[in-house]
Structure 1
């Protein structure tokens, strides 16, 4: 190791030590808790080894929640990315008021979650909400729809609300990636007669792929761990139709009083996310090496 690397490591070591302590200690504590039989916070527990893992992995509720989490991540990823890409393409153009639009689009992302929940619960309400009368007047439905009454409609509604809140953040990241694309490329394409679709497919999309890949990893990790919007709107219902893994962990720990099983679920969720991040990072490195 050269002197410059040693110096760099010496400067980075304190920050890395703090990071390992902040992140590592809770993970180690959760793993040790998963090897015991603790019912509630502060209670004494008996060492049971990997019995909790055997019990949790044999529980069909856990696998349904895991599948629900995967569906949640996929649905949010598709909707958020689609909305963000369209918004970024519009905001990347020059038109009167574009600077104001770029500033105010972030508004939905900075609004507190509780405010978002109150607004959309009222809008989707069957008594006094605005969505049902609007859809009836447009001829889309004949009678009011209970958006949170069935598992499928509740899941779709939650995906829409969560995507509405988070797509501005992704829009700004995509917009930042677009601003790094040289304008000369677009000008040359226009001179060659390329239309808007060809400019997007041949220039914007290929050069935006690295940004999209990073956002895919970050967005997946954030979406998987969403708890607040789901719990405040449906609490995992109806009939478990929106019970993702974070909801199940909360129910197991603080409603079922099985703290060690909740820790086991947390460890499993962490391993799944870490594996996803490592595989994605490796594929990104391989893709970068080929290019």
Structure 2
């Protein structure tokens, strides 16, 4: 016997009315800025102007042919994948350690989460003093133990600046990975580990056969979020180095700022922002494919 149709027009109208404020906010905060940026990318427009001459795809051609863009693109990939790879590896290792039952585990968890709670400006200012080649504590400690014979130019060397920025980013945001992975680790049934112990499985085998399959969807989702957030991260790099020295740490977000608010070329800045968005879309598609494969294996 067929069930009666309870989906009445009035119910649908009520649902649409309930969703309309959220839809309006999304249109205001997402759709309108995206359309505005896309329109700006098609114009020759400077800072302070509402519109400019239509130039079509010329801004995109200029951006893609600009050596500064190619340099920023390479720096962005080094910054993003270097930071995310270390954050995920470090976060997984610490999450596994904090998942073990030991005394004062709660205090250890609180201490690990501290960097994530510190405001970015405060963290960057602190690290700036620590990196100082004259009064910095890092050079002092490394020279005290004999690892270096002269101070390192952490932020003023083209070979060290990106590593220094990545170090700060990893320190600031790896607690997010720890938080995400600890939640899923605590949800794994302990009976599976007990059965593995009875079968004589080693710690590596239990990690590979039990832990990793359970945490993989959350692991990939966390990596996706950290990739997106790191890709358009601006404040740490700009406050630490301003994109220098000699553009050694200029990433795409920093380049967009320079094009728009230093060179006053808002059209090229908008084109660079759209290209950045397209790259993130490709990365999102790759991660979603990997997540579907991980979920299918469970």
Per the TM superposition, whether the score is higher than 0.5 is: yes
- Could you tell me the TM-score, scaled by structure 1's length? 0.93
Separation of aligned partners in 1, 2:180 and 2:297 = 25
Separation of aligned partners in 2, 1:153 and 1:14 = 49
Q: Following TM superposition, by how much is the alpha carbon of 1:260 offset from its aligned partner in structure 2, in angstroms?
A: 1.1
Structure 2 residue runs without a partner (length 5+): none
Separation of aligned partners in 2, 1:245 and 1:78 = 19
Query: If you compute each CA radius of gyration, which structure gives the higher value, 1 or 2?
Result: 2
Partner of 1:97: 104
Separation of aligned partners in 2, 1:13 and 1:118 = 43
- Does residue 193 of the first structure (1) align with residue 200 of the second (2)? yes
Matched-pair contact (CA < 8 Å) for 2:128–2:240: yes
Matched-pair contact (CA < 8 Å) for 2:260–2:269: yes
- Does residue 244 of the first structure (1) align with residue 248 of the second (2)? no
Partner of 1:150: 157
RMSD between aligned residues: 2.1
Partner of 1:84: 91
Partner of 2:229: 222
- Does residue 28 of the first structure (1) align with residue 31 of the second (2)? no
Residue 106 of structure 1 aligns to a residue whose secondary structure is: helix
Q: Following TM superposition, by how much is the alpha carbon of 1:92 offset from its aligned partner in structure 2, in angstroms?
A: 0.4
Larger CA deviation: 20-29 vs 249-258? 20-29
- Does residue 274 of the first structure (1) align with residue 278 of the second (2)? no
What is the 5 A alignment of 1:1-291? 3=7, 6=12, 10=16, 11-42=18-49, 44-289=51-296, 291=298
Q: Following TM superposition, by how much is the alpha carbon of 1:6 offset from its aligned partner in structure 2, in angstroms?
A: 5.0
Separation of aligned partners in 1, 2:6 and 2:31 = 29
Q: Following TM superposition, by how much is the alpha carbon of 1:195 offset from its aligned partner in structure 2, in angstroms?
A: 2.5
Q: Following TM superposition, by how much is the alpha carbon of 1:259 offset from its aligned partner in structure 2, in angstroms?
A: 1.1
Q: Following TM superposition, by how much is the alpha carbon of 1:247 offset from its aligned partner in structure 2, in angstroms?
A: 0.6
- Could you tell me the TM-score, scaled by structure 2's length? 0.91
Matched-pair contact (CA < 8 Å) for 2:43–2:51: no
Separation of aligned partners in 1, 2:208 and 2:250 = 38
Q: Following TM superposition, by how much is the alpha carbon of 1:238 offset from its aligned partner in structure 2, in angstroms?
A: 0.8
Matched-pair contact (CA < 8 Å) for 1:40–1:259: yes
Cα-to-partner distance string for 1:69-120 (whole Å, 9 max, x where unaligned): 1111110011111110111011101111112222332210111111111111
Separation of aligned partners in 1, 2:70 and 2:123 = 30
Matched-pair contact (CA < 8 Å) for 2:184–2:215: yes
